Amino acid sequence: MATEKPKKKFTFPTAFTILFILLILIAAATWFVPAGSYDYDADGAPIPGTYHEVEPNPQKLLVSALKGPINGMYGIEDETGNVDVWNYGELFGAIDVALFVLIIGGFLGVTMKTGAINSGIAWVVGKLKGKEKWMFPILMTIFAIGGTSYGMAEETLAFYALIITVMLAAGYDGLTAGALILLGAGIGVLGSTINPFATGIASGFADTTISEGIVGRLVILIVGTIIGIIFVMRYAERVKKEPSKSLIYDMKAENEKQFMSGTSEGTEFGKFTTRHKVILFLFFLAFVVMVYGVIPWEDLGLAVPTWWWWFPEMTANFLFFGILIGIIGKLSEKNLVDTFIDGARDMLGVALIIGVARGITVIMNNGLITDTVLYWAEQAVAGLGSVGFIIVTYLLYLPLSFLIPSSSGLATVSMPIMAPLAQFANVPSYLVVTAYQTANGLVNLVTPTSAVVMGGLAIARVGYGVWWKFVWPVLALLFVLTILVLAGGVLLA
C-alpha cells in the first residue's frame, strides 16, 4: 500500500520575509504610481492643498531590494544615487535607532544576568504564600510596569513554572497563572509609556517625543491593568470554589503531576539580596533619567534644566547604566562584556528589521511616490474629521500588526506616512503613536505568530482555542477603552 505523504502545514512568513516582499512591491510601484510632491513649510511639514506631480524616478527592483535595508540604515539617497552618511539623522536614517536597540539589549542582558529581576519576583511570590489572591494585583502590576517601561515579553517565560506551581498549590489552575503573566505584561506593553522599543522608536519617526501623549497612555495602562486584574481574579476565585469551572479541568490531574511532583524546573531563583535591590533601583532609574532627558521642560514654561536628549544621548544613558549594573552585580570584566554582547545579539533581529523597514521609506522617497500616497490618503480621510481619522487609524493598525508583529518594524514602516497624514486631519502625531502601539499590543495578546503567546500557553498547557475563549472579553474592553482615550485625546488636543 502506498503511504500517504503528510500534508505540509502553512507557516506564516516572518517579518523579514514580509518586509522584503514589500520592498520589491514598493520598488515596482514607483514605475506605476505617479510621482508627486507637496510644498513644505519651514518645519518640514507638508502643506495641505499644495500637492503637484513631478518628473518620475522609477527604482530598479533587484537593486532596491538589496540596497533598501542598507540605505534604510543611513538615510535617503541624493540625486546621484549616493547616501549622505553624515546627515543620516536629518534624512531619517535608522542607524541611530538600531544602535539604541542593540545597547538596550546589552543593558537588559546584564541586568538579567545579575538575577535581580528573577529573584525580586520570586521574593514577592514567596512573601505572598498563604495570601495567594494578592498575587494577582501585585504580580500583574509588576509585570505591567515591566511591559510599559521596557517592553517585557520574552523575559516572562522564565516565571511560568514558578507561578504555575504556586497557583496549583493554592487551588487555582494553569490558565490562571498563564493569564496573570500574559495579560500583566501584555497590557503593560499595550499601554507603553516609556517603552523604547514601541513608544520611543515610533515617536522618533513621528517627529514627536516620548513625553507627549503620556497622560493618555497612562490612562490606558492603569485602567487596562485594573480590567485585567479584575477579570483574572474573578475567574481564579470561580475555579477555586468549584474546580470543574476551570476551562482546562480535563488537564487538572496531569498538571498537578507535572508541576507539583517536585520535578518541574525553573522554580528557584536564588535569594533576593541587598545587591539585587540596588540593581533594581538603578534599572528603573535608567528609565527615569531617560524620560527626564527627553522632556522639553523649557517649552513647558518650567524653570527646570532641559537636556534636549534624543537617541544618541539615550543610548549613552543605557550604556552607562548597563556597565554600572554589571560592576555592582560583581560580574567580571570578561563576563560583563560577554553578557552585554550576548544581550545586544538578542536584539540584532530587531535592529535589522528596523533597517529593512526603513528601506521601504527610502525607496518611496527615492521614487518620489511618498507624497503621492500621502495625497491619496489625504483625499480618503478628508471628510472623516479628527475623531474619525484617529479611530480609522487605530482600526488600520490592527491588521497591520498581524502582518508585521514586530513593533519596531511596524513603527518604522508606517510612521513616515501616518504622522504627516495626521497633520492634515489636525490630529497630533503623538496620538498616532498611541493608536499604533495600542493596536499592536492588543494583537500581540493573541496572535499565533508570537513566541511569547504560544510559548507561554505551551508551558501552562493551555490550548490556543481555550485562550481565545478566555481572553476575548478582555480584548473587547481594551478595544473600547482605547477608542475612548483616542477620541478624548483628539477632543482635548
Q: Is the pLDDT of residue 183 over 90?
A: yes
**For residue 335, with 0-12 CB atoms within 10 Å meaning exposed, 13-18 middle and 19 or more buried, which class applies?**
middle
Q: What is the pLDDT of residues 442-468, one digit of tens each?
A: 999 988 767 688 888 887 888 888 999
Q: Is the pLDDT of residue 48 over 80?
A: no
Determine the pLDDT at residue 76.
52
User: Which three cell numbers mark 320?
Assistant: 552607562
Place of cell 480590567: 227
Task: Count the Cβ atoms, other than its own, within 10 Å of residue 218.
Answer: 14
What percent of the chain has pLDDT above 90?
30
Q: What is the pLDDT of residues 200-224, one digit of tens each?
A: 888 888 888 888 899 999 999 999 9
Question: Are 43 and 36 spatial neighbours (Cβ–Cβ below 8 Å)?
Answer: no
Determine the pLDDT at residue 80.
42
Q: Is the pLDDT of residue 8 over 90?
A: no
Determine the pLDDT at residue 269.
62
Q: Is the pLDDT of residue 79 over 80?
A: no
Residue 449 vs residue 27, higher pLDDT: 27
Determine the pLDDT at residue 159.
77
Supply the DSSP symbol for 295: S
User: Which three cell numbers mark 139?
Assistant: 504580580
Determine the pLDDT at residue 140.
94
Mean pLDDT of 56-61: 84
What percent of the chain has pLDDT above 70?
87
Determine the pLDDT at residue 449.
64
Determine the pLDDT at residue 84.
39
Provide the mean pLDDT of the chain: 82
Residues in the chain: 493
Give every CB contact of residue 172 below 8 A, 6+ residues apart in sequence. 132, 236, 239, 240
Mean pLDDT of 247-276: 71
CA distance 358 to 411: 9
Q: Is the pLDDT of residue 290 over 70?
A: yes
Q: What is the pLDDT of residues 361-390, one digit of tens each?
A: 788 888 888 888 878 877 777 678 899 999
Determine the pLDDT at residue 473.
96
Q: What is the pLDDT of residues 105-141, one digit of tens each?
A: 899 889 989 988 878 878 887 787 777 788 899 999 9
User: Which three cell numbers mark 17?
Assistant: 520575509
Residue 27 vs residue 65, higher pLDDT: 27
Q: Is the pLDDT of residue 228 over 90?
A: yes
Kindly report which listed range (22-26, 90-94, 428-432, 470-474) carries the lowest average pLDDT score. Answer: 90-94
Q: Is the pLDDT of residue 272 over 60?
A: yes
Determine the pLDDT at residue 442.
95
Q: What is the pLDDT of residues 154-180, one digit of tens each?
A: 778 767 877 887 888 788 888 999 999
Determine the pLDDT at residue 264.
47
**For residue 463, with 0-12 CB atoms within 10 Å meaning exposed, 13-18 middle and 19 or more buried, which class applies?**
middle
Q: Tell me the range of 36-50, 180-194, 300-314, 443-457 where mean pLDDT is highest.
A: 180-194
Q: Is the pLDDT of residue 75 over 70?
A: no
Q: How confident is the model at residue 11 (pLDDT cuts 50, 70, 90)?
A: low
- Domain residue spans in the chain? 96-346
Determine the pLDDT at residue 89.
35
Residue 72 vs residue 390, higher pLDDT: 390
Model confidence, pTM: 0.74
Determine the pLDDT at residue 227.
97
What angle, rounded to 10 degrees, do the helices at 407-424 and 15-29 form?
40
Mean pLDDT of 478-491: 96
Q: Is the pLDDT of residue 1 over 60?
A: no
